[in-house]
Structure 1
Amino acid sequence: MSEAQAVLLGVLAGLTVLLGMPLARGLRTGQALLIPLSCGVLVYLLGDMLARAFMPLNSALLRRYDSLAGVEPAVSLTVAFIGGLVLGYGGLTAYLALTGVSDAAEPTVRGATSEPSPTDDSSELPAVHAAPNGGTTAVSAAALDVQRVAGPSSSRLALLVAIGIGLHNLGEGLALGNLAGNDWISISVVLVVGYVLQNLVVAGAITAPFAGDPQPPSWSHLALFGVIAGGPTVLGTYLGWQLVGMASGDAGDLTSTAVQALAAGAILFVLIQLLSSVTTLGRRTTRHLGLLAGLVIMLLIEVLIIGATGA
C-alpha cells in the first residue's frame, strides 16, 4: 500500500468524527444521561490506552526475568510510560492553570444557599434558593441540572475532551499506519470501519458538556473540536507508515508506549473533570446506567474489531 493510500485511510478513520457532530449537536438535552454515557466511553478508552502502553513494558520485564535481555529496555519503557502519563495529565492541568481556570467542570449554581447531596435520587422536587429581593424562589432539580452543566466552562471542557480523544486517536493511527505499511490491506480496511464506529460514539462525548445549554454550540466550534479529535489519526497513520521498519524494535515499542501513556494521562484528566459534573446531577440510577452503557458500547465495538481483524 502506498503512502497516499495509507494517509487516505487515516483521513477516513479519523475525520469521520465530524459525521457524529450534527447528531450530537441535536441531543443537547438530557445531560443526566449524556454525560455519564461519555464518562463510560472515556473509562473504556483509559483502560485501553493503559493496557496498550503497558504491553511492551511487560514484555521487556519478562525478557529481563528470563535473562533474554538487559535491564535497559525495561528502564527506558518505564520512563516512557510514567513520563507519558505525567505529561498528558500535567499538560492539561497546566493549561487550565495558565488560562486561569482551576476546575473547568466544577459545578456552580448562582444564588444557591446550599448544595444538594450527590446521592439524592430525586429529580423533580423543588429546591429553595435566595431571590434578589431577599425572598425565596423554588427551582426544579431539572433546572438546576442545566445550571450546573451549562456555563462558560462548556467549550473549555469540550476542548479538553477533544484533546484527550485526539491523543487516543494518535495511537490508533500509529497501529493503522503500521498495518497499511505491511500491506495488510484487508485488515486495515476493516480496522478503519471499526474506528469510524468508535468516532461516531466519541462525537457524543465531545459535545456532552454542552448538554442543557440554552443555545447549541456553533458549527465552527464543533468543526474545530472534530479536527482536534480526528486529525491526530491522520498524523498517526502517516507516522506509523513511516516507522514500519522499527515497529517491532525497541524504538517502536518506546514510541508506542510514550504515545499511549500520553493519551491515558490526558483522558484520565478529562474523565475526572467530567465525573465532577456527573456527581452533581440528579437521577442516580440514570447516572450509573449511562456510565455502564458507554463502557459496554465501546467494548462491543472493540470485540467486533478484534473479531474481524485479529488486531
Structure 2
Amino acid sequence: MITVENLSKRYGSHTAVNDVSFTVEPGSVTGFLGPNGAGKSTTLRMLTGLTPPTSGTATIAGRRYAELPNPGRVVGVMLDAAAQHPGRTGRETLLLNSGLLGVPAKRADEMLEAVGLTAAAKKRVGQYSLGMRQRLGIAAALLGDPAILILDEPANGMDPEGIRWMRGLLQDFASRGGTVVLSSHLLGEVQATVDRLVVIGGGRIVANGSLGELLAGQGTLVRGLDPVALRAALVAAGYAVEPVADGGLRVEATAEEVGRAAYAAGQILIELRDSDGAGLEDLFFQLTGPADQLAA
C-alpha cells in the first residue's frame, strides 16, 4: 500500500507540490496524471526517496522508501528507462541488479523471458530501441518480485503490441494483489489499463477516485437518424448538448433521460451509451485547465 499525506516540496519561493494526499490500495492499477510542470514527477521522486520533501510524508508498505531494508524487494521502480548503462548488455544489467537485490542470478533470465527480451539478452543496451529499453526497465522493476510497482511513462516508444502486452502484465500483477502506480501521457491507454485515477494540477490533487466514478459525470453519447432534430429535441427538453465526431451528441443527462426525451420527440436512435470513450481526455482538460498543454 502507498500512502501520501500532506506532501509538499518547495524550491525557494516556488512550490512544486502543495499539500498532496492520496492512497493506492493493493489489487489496483492507479493512473497518476498531470500536465507537464504539475508536480507529478516531483511527487514520484519524493515517493521513491530521490527528492526529500519539504513537509509531509510518503510511505510504501508503512515505511519511507529510505527506511525499507531492501527497497527493490518491496517496490519496483522505473522512472527513466534511458538511465540504464548503454555499454552493458540487457542480461548484464539484470545480473548486476540481481546481485544488489540478493536474488538468484537465474531470475535475470526469467525476467528477460517475461518481457520478451531473451533474443536480445546479449545485445548492448545502447543498441536497444526505446521500446526495448522500456521492457528492460520493467524487467528490472520486477526483478525483486515486489508487491508494488511505480512506473513513469512505461509505454513510451512501445508499438501497439508492446502496449497491449504491458497492459496485460500490469492488470495481471494487480489481480494477484499487487499495487501499481502508472504515470503516462497516453490517456487512451491509461483509460484502458487503470481502475483508479489521481490527477494533479498546479501542484495540488484535483481529482482522486475510481475511473468509473470520475467519468460518470461525462454524460451520455447519442446518435440518431436525424441529428439536427435529435439535438433540437434534447435542447427543448432542457439538456446541455455538445456535438462530437461522426454526428454524435454528448448530453449532460443519463442514458435513460436521453432515451425518454428522444422517444417523446419521435426520434430514432442508432447509438446510446455512457460517454466514456473520450471521457478521460475531456476530464483531464477540465480538471487541469485550458492553459495546460499535454505533451504527445
Instruction: Determine if the TM-score, normalized by the shorter chain, exceeds 0.5.
Output: no
Q: TM-score, normalised by structure 1?
A: 0.25
> Larger radius of gyration, structure 1 or 2?
2
Greater relative contact order, per chain length (Cα 8 Å cut-off, separation 6+): 1
Please state which structure has a larger fraction of its residues in strand: 2
